[in-house]
Amino acid sequence: MTDKLLLRALAGETLPTPPVWMMRQAGRYLPEYRATRAKAGSFLDLCYTPELAAEVTLQPLRRYAFDAAILFADILLVPQALGADLTFVQGEGPRLSTVTSVADLARLGPVDDIDETLSPIYETVRILRRELPADVPLIGFAGAPWTVATYMIAGRGTPDQAPARRLMYSDRATFEALLDRITDATIHYLLQQVRAGAEVIKIFDSWAGALPGTEFAKYAIAPAKRIVDALRAEHPDLPIIGFPRMAGGNYARFAVETGVQGLALDTSVDPAWAADHLQPRTCVQGNLDPLLLVQGGQALTDKTKETVRAFANGPHIFNLGHGITPDASPDNVHRMLEAVRG
């Protein structure tokens, strides 16, 4: 029996009080993060400087005593490691060189070379395993192939992932070859994180809900299953959390067919429905609306307690339905934790 509550929940145990962490718990809502980010010089410099990346990973643990830490990195480091140009524009987000043709695909490097770029990330993991409290597990992560592909095809974030869907319909061979390359690189990257000390893995498919019908099975479920199977081949007991955001009724199918041990739920999922249809199959994670950490007050307390009650009869990790936003109040995080822990 481990004293790491997150691992117990992922193993299927129903706990009196759910473990708690937050997506983007290291981030701009914290003044200490903003100070470290300024010291680093740029977002990518922060990601690739292990001592600073470890520091911002630890900052929310010092403030709030969360039940898990999540590696500070970014899902777009994998395409950069494959050879895509990557920058972050202040206030606008990422910009990448695009991959929309066979010629673009040919300019990407081999998967075996990605460690030249990503080795600082593995060093961050090693530092964190040394410095984290004994009862706090470390979550490693990567973006799911479909979500990463949407950025690589469009060269930036888009509201509806239309560029990626157009390529999927117009040149399926190139689209699928890109997804295969990303999947292979993601497997390699995550295995290296686990070898360095990550104890849990999370796969973020932030734009899974943009995939229609049969394409969801092909391009959200199938790549995730490949990743899960590859990780479990080397680490049979590795807990893996999937986050097929906005998947709606496909959440249950995703859990069953991929074999993940945890299923992160977005804010659109009704907790009562999830308790009936998802929690009997897997540990569920979520799904408080991040806006409540901006709003605060009694609404935050009531909704937090309501979420805990809804999932009280099965394995549950308390979290948000998406990442905490930069305008959230640190004091409201304290209020949320008090409501969860009673």
The catalytic residues are 24, 28, 37, 74, 151
Alpha-carbon distance values, 263 to 19, 160, 253 (Å): 14, 23, 11
What would you report as the CA-atom Rg of the chain, rounded to the nearest whole angstrom?
A: 19
Query: Helix 162-170 to helix 145-154 angle, to the nearest 10 degrees?
Result: 100
Query: In the chain, where do the E strands start and end?
Result: 69-70, 86-89, 93-96, 138-143, 200-205, 240-244, 262-264, 283-288, 316-320
Residue of 152, 139, 54, 142 lying closest to 96 (CA atoms): 152
Residue 233 CB-density burial (10 A; 0-12 exposed, 13-18 middle, 19+ buried): exposed
Give the start-end residues of each E strand in 71-229: 86-89, 93-96, 138-143, 200-205
Amino acid type, 110:
P
- Which DSSP letter does residue 208 get? G
Give the integer Cα–Cα distance in Å for 63 and 173: 48
